[in-house]
Amino acid sequence: MRRGVMVLGLGAAALGALLTPHALAQTELATGPFTANQIEAGRKVYTARCASCHQANLAGQGDAFALAGSQFLAGWGNRTTRDLYNLIQSSMPKNEPGSLDDQSTANLTAFILHENGAKPGPMGGMPGIGNRLTFTQSKA
């Protein structure tokens, strides 16, 4: 019996060792390359420059695509944060493409990522980040 307990204990330890990197990877993927301050600044940019087309709830309308939810996640799941940043900077807002400065674009990108479930991290600097857009299903 003692041998069975020891084998079970070793098996649990091995399983824990195998799952720990997976758990860490999930945490890393769910943490965005942006800070909480960037989210709030991005919310202000969104309200002032984007909400008239994409709606206050980011649901989109007409030619303005949804920026949150399953439709956004389906379209952006294989792209990077840099791709999103570049698209916003080069083509938004629709009536003044390219008019957002680098910091406003980074903050806006942070806000959109956060609204799709990504959590803020300790450091900003999003433009240089090429993380895949991988999100948890629900925002907490």
Q: Which residues of 5-39 are buried (b: 16+ CB within 10 A; e: fewer)?
A: eeeeeeeeeeeeeeeeeeeeeeeeeeebbbbeebb
What is the domain partition of the chain in residue ranges? 31-128
Cut 0.85: pTM above it: no
As a CATH number, domain 31-128 is 1.10.760.10
d(CA 106, CA 104): 5
Tens of pLDDT along 67-123?
999 999 998 888 888 899 999 999 999 999 999 999 999 999 999 999 998 889 887
Tens of pLDDT along 10-68?
333 333 333 333 333 333 445 678 899 999 999 999 999 999 999 999 999 999 999 99
